[in-house]
Amino acid sequence: MRPLAIVSAMHEELHALLPLLDAPSQRTLAARRFHIGTLAGQPVVLVLSGIGKVAAATTAALLIHEFDAQAIVFTGVAGGLGPGVKVGDVVVATQALQHDMDASPIFPRFEVPLTGRSRFDVDEVLSGHLATSAEDCLHRADELMVRAHLEPFGIAAPRVHRGLVVSGDRFVSTAAESRALVQALPDALAVEMEGAALAQVCADFGCPFAVMRTISDRADDDAHADFSRFIAEVASVYTRVVVLHWLQQ
Ligand code: ADE
């Protein structure tokens, strides 16, 4: 069976899954360690892409070309942009867009030149399953031991949102920049640095993909401090709980 690929940008986002891998083996390519094995009986490849759009694109191309991935899920953290998108919520993308793509006036702002597209659609079935798994896990936060990790952050009733996720090679860490993004893209729910690059590569190859992000900060003046604490203490817990729940379905 072709493997499912699960990708994160940073170690903190993926490390709780690595010890759970059955029959593990490794292959190193392009300075990345690809962890091959099974999770919940499902063949998988787990890999850290590194941060940013180029790192994500390199990783996606390798997963498709060298590992014959049947689908790719990018999981990790993001800054919240949408009005009700709070720290501790989960955003599962319906579309991904590169917010720093701008070849205007030759092409419309955000459009990937010569593709005629700015928004790339995720795989609906895969994303639907991930969203359902995230909802189940957040409803059962006590039982799944997630609650203890959330309380120190004042996260009481985390929610799952579905919508536009935007990506760019910037950590958005001022309220002014985040406001400008929302003004330009009013339906954007979250900002991160990889998802839309994965989307473009997957569109080229015809590979199904999904992006699932836990909100670590509000992409504002406090983003840096919030991000650092959250990624150290919570990010991997979400990934482990939700991804395992999804694979077990
Ligand atoms: N990932 C997590 N928080 C982010 C932010 N504020 N900007 C970009 N990527 C992020």
Segments making up each domain of the chain, as ranges: 4-243
**For residue 70, how many C-alpha atoms fall within 13 Å in the half-sphere facing its CB?**
8
**Does domain 4-243 correspond to CATH entry 3.30.428.10?**
no
Average pLDDT, the chain: 94
Ligand 1 pocket residue status of 216, Cβ below 6 Å:
yes
- C-alpha dist (Å) from residue 90 to 57, 113, 116, 212: 23, 31, 30, 7
> Has 102 been annotated as catalytic?
no
Beta bridge partners of 33: 28
67-81, 110-124, 219-233: range with lowest mean pLDDT: 219-233
pLDDT at 168 over 90: yes
Q: How confident is the model at residue 127 (pLDDT cuts 50, 70, 90)?
A: very high
Q: Judge if ipTM > 0.90.
A: yes
Active-site annotation holder among 89, 111, 194, 217? 217
- What's the confidence (pLDDT) of residue 143? 78
Kindly compute the dihedral angle of the four CA atoms of residues 175, 176, 182, 185, in this order, to the nearest 10 degrees.
Answer: -140
Are the C-beta atoms of 108 and 217 separated by less than 8 Å?
A: no
Shortest-distance Cα residue to atom 6 of ligand 1? 219
Q: Kindly report the pTM of this predicted structure.
A: 0.96
CA distance 186 to 189: 8
Question: How far, in whole angstroms, is CA 195 from its chain's centroid?
Answer: 6
Shortest CA distance to 191 belongs to which of 224, 159, 168?
A: 168
**Ligand 1 atom with minimal separation from the 168 CA:** 8
Q: What is the average pLDDT across 129-157?
A: 86
pLDDT in tens, 51-64: 999 999 999 999 99
- Ligand 1 centre from 184 Cα, in Å? 17
pLDDT in tens, 216-239: 999 999 988 888 888 888 888 888
> Has 136 been annotated as catalytic?
no
pLDDT higher at 124 or 154: 124
- What's the confidence (pLDDT) of residue 65? 97
45-49, 73-77, 223-227: range with lowest mean pLDDT: 223-227
- What's the confidence (pLDDT) of residue 233? 83
Ligand 1 pocket residue status of 85, Cβ below 6 Å:
no
pLDDT at 83 over 80: yes
Q: How confident is the model at residue 149 (pLDDT cuts 50, 70, 90)?
A: confident
Ligand 1 pocket residue status of 57, Cβ below 6 Å:
no
